[in-house]
Amino acid sequence: MKRIGVFTSGGDAPGMNAAIRAVVRQAHALGIEVIGIRRGYAGMIQGEMVPLGVRDVANILQRGGTVLLTARSQEFLTPEGRAKAAAKLKAAGIEGLVAIGGDGTFRGAIQLMEEHRIPVVGVPGTIDNDLYGTDFTIGFDTAVNTALEAIDRIRDTAASHERVFFIEVMGRHAGFIALEVGLAGGAEVVALPEVPVDVEAVAQGLLESQRRGKTSSIVVVAEGAYPGGAAGLLAAIQERVALEARVTVLGHIQRGGSPTAKDRVLASRLGAAAVEALAGGTSGVMVGEVEGEVQFTPLKEAVERRKDINRGLLELLRVLAL
């Protein structure tokens, strides 16, 4: 393989730049040229490509976001869009792709491989941590630490005013962030998409903790856990019981910022492993890290099999939230 392409797609995640750098430098070590494809699949369709040499990826390791830019492309969802993208790749002499992103990115990659025989290796880059075949996705650790810092600050004001706060974190379909920050931030309750929310139980639990002398509480709500997110859950509770509370939506703050050491190391490792795999003739897999070891999982399995939250951690949170 003489030339490969690398792109980022879907929601950005801290550490994507570290992965791009690793792809470029590992490829260089193997004598392979790298072309950066800008704006994900949208840019691929338009042929937005730039050669990336080892110096072009200097000083990006520590930067959040993605220097290649990202997008969610509607056109790529059509066979015509994918044909255009494949034609641009072939015209540019790109023989294989490293796709950095989440499940939407990998679903697109599967179609590109099946319809146009373009080899692809996926690198899991999403703050949601919702991909099967890796213990952690790139960006998750940073997002958790960012959310946690915000929650610690909210706790200060919650305690001073003796208030209840409902804090919404990202996670349309997955509660990994909510569970991790809930436990690390000492939340009284977490609401996750994976576990049906028992509104009555949450309401009674909060009143009960007030009766036990708790003057402030934190409820962490994943955005997809309840219709209307944190505000929706609070409204449903207020239909049942009298409870005064404030709502904070952390939103896109969680997607930005400099990646943690853990995310930089993970991104460097997985970016390099993806290139080695592609160069060795492997395709159609996601490279992940499982129990500290690099592991390859078919892209189809990575997106179709559901990675469950750690139910033991959820139980622990309930015990510790006294």
**Catalytic residue list:** 128
Own/partner pairs, 292-299, CB within 8 angstroms, 24+ separation:
294/269, 294/270, 295/133, 295/134, 296/133, 297/132, 297/133, 297/134, 299/106, 299/109, 299/110, 299/113, 299/120, 299/122
240 lies in the site for ligand F6P, by CB under 6 A = no
Distance separating alpha carbons of residues 167 and 246, to the nearest angstrom:
8
Distance separating alpha carbons of residues 254 and 169, to the nearest angstrom:
8
Ligand-binding annotation for 171, yes or no, is yes
> What residues between 187 and 226 interact with ligand F6P by CB under 6 A?
223
One-letter amino acid of 9: S
Q: Which helix (H) or strand (E) holds 194?
A: none
Binding residue for ligand F6P (CB under 6 A) from 170, 233, 247, 309?
170
Ligand-binding annotation for 223, yes or no, is yes
**Cα separations in angstroms, 214 against 208, 217, 247:** 9, 7, 19
Binding residue for ligand F6P (CB under 6 A) from 73, 105, 126, 209?
126
List beta partners, residue 295.
288
- In angstroms, give the least distance from the CB of 210 to ligand F6P: 31
Ligand-binding annotation for 253, yes or no, is yes
> What stretches of 162-222 adopt beta strand conformation (E)?
164-169, 189-191, 217-222
- In angstroms, give the least distance from the CB of 131 to ligand F6P: 11
171 lies in the site for ligand F6P, by CB under 6 A = yes
Closest to ligand F6P by CB, 170 vs 266, is 170
Please identify the residue of the shown chain whose CB is closest to the bound ligand F6P: 11
Mask of contacts with ligand F6P, 127-166, x by CB under 6 A? xx--------------------------------------
Q: Which two tokens stand for residue 297?
A: 């999982």
- In angstroms, give the least distance from the CB of 130 to ligand F6P: 8
Ligand-binding annotation for 153, yes or no, is no
- In angstroms, give the least distance from the CB of 232 to ligand F6P: 15
Distance separating alpha carbons of residues 266 and 148, to the nearest angstrom:
20
Nearest-CA neighbor of 163 among 225, 248, 239?
248
Q: Whose structure tokens read 């179709």?
A: 304
How many other C-beta atoms lie within 10 A of the C-beta of residue 125?
34
> What residues between 250 and 269 interact with ligand F6P by CB under 6 A?
255
172 lies in the site for ligand F6P, by CB under 6 A = yes
311 lies in the site for ligand F6P, by CB under 6 A = no
16 lies in the site for ligand F6P, by CB under 6 A = no
Binding residue for ligand F6P (CB under 6 A) from 4, 5, 9, 11?
11
Closest to ligand F6P by CB, 126 vs 146, is 126
- Tell me which residues touch ligand F6P (CB under 6 A): 11, 126-128, 170-172, 223, 255
